[in-house]
Amino acid sequence: MVVTSLPSSTEVSEWFDRTFPEAVSLLDRIVTCSSCTRDRDGVNAVQDIAAEFLRSVGLEVSFRTTGDSARTLWAEVPGFKSSKKILLSGHVDTVHPRDDWSSSLVEEGDKLIGPGVADMKGGVVEFLWVLRFLHDHGLLARLPVRVLLTPDEEIASPSSQPFLREAASDSELALVFEPGRLNGAIVTQRRGAAGVEVKVVGKASHAGNAFHEGKSAIHQLAHTVGKLFALNGTIPGANVNVGVVQGGTTANTVAAVAEALVDLRYTTLEQRDQLVEALKIIENDHIVPGIQMSFSEGSFFPPMPELPETLVLYGEYAVILKEFG
């Protein structure tokens, strides 16, 4: 199709109203696929559905993998190799394990309910359907659109972060179709996050007959947890939470091993560096002689600061939203 003018807001609304049942059908198809992050086959199945759709509207599709992870989908409108890209990004994995999976999408009033609908299969279908609109109106082939769908966002994107950086490196702008806030607000900034695993190894002994021969990992970890929480308020814009603690075997045994999972949040990378330095001090603060304690960083998300360019894009987006009521 060749067009000589852009469709009006009324024509756009009418097209989406008319094709809405087809979009719901696509969402149902995607939701029906179990795609917990660790379910490699399920995640790949959703990527295949997305790839089929993207090819149908003229995009060139390829897959990228790292290790044993599921595939990252990379797609582009052909013919724009040297142009700055418009990056549309999302993820197809969810937190719901296969055993908790419902069979299909459920409609309740004006809501569509199913595992992963909000986070973020609904968002994926949203931008796929925008691409369908642009294709059907002869506009998509004019735009340097790039699509990136990742398989592991729910576990901090360990395999896909390099692809995200690569995709963003030559993009003019990027839109991420995760849900916004409950009040409908659009997210223009967010804090970074990192996960830290704490492991303490002591020495087991009987709490009655040989209490003083033991080295309690739980005693040390309790002290360490207190130190971690005490960091809150010392670095404005950052916070520390210990969300999981486990250790020991029985009440009458001095615990040989104790572990904790720690969540770090920060507004800037400088704050993260400050947290890391503080954790190094805590890691070496032992109150139980002879124990071993290690901190190891797992997941890592950099912060997304609110840049002037972001606010310009938001302003343009807000104008368009007002046009559509």
For every residue of 206-265, DSSP letters joined together read ETTTSGGG-B-HHHHHHHHHHHHHTTTTTSTT-EEEEEEEEE-S-TTEE-SEEEEEEEEE
Higher pLDDT, 304 or 102: 304
CATH fold of 9-179 reads: Aminopeptidase (3.40.630)
Q: Does an H or E element contain 150, and which?
A: strand 145-150
- Nearest one of 211, 219, 199 to 253, comparing CA atoms: 211
Q: Does an H or E element contain 205, and which?
A: strand 205-206
> Comparing 9-179 with 192-301, is the CATH topology the same?
no
pLDDT tens digits for 174-216?
999 998 778 878 899 999 999 999 999 999 999 999 999 999 9
Torsion sign (Cα): 264, 266, 269, 275: negative
The whole-number pLDDT of residue 103 equals: 66
Answer yes or no: is pLDDT of 154 > 80: yes
Q: Environment class of residue 181 by beta-carbon count within 10 Å: exposed (0-12), middle (13-18) or buried (19+)? A: exposed
Answer yes or no: is pLDDT of 277 > 90: yes
Does the pTM surpass 0.85? The reply is no
Answer yes or no: is pLDDT of 1 > 60: no
Answer yes or no: is pLDDT of 95 > 70: yes
| Domain spans, the chain | 9-179, 192-301
CATH no. for 192-301: 3.30.70.360
What is d(CA 86, CA 75) in angstroms, rounded to the nearest whole number? 12
Average pLDDT over residues 112-131: 95
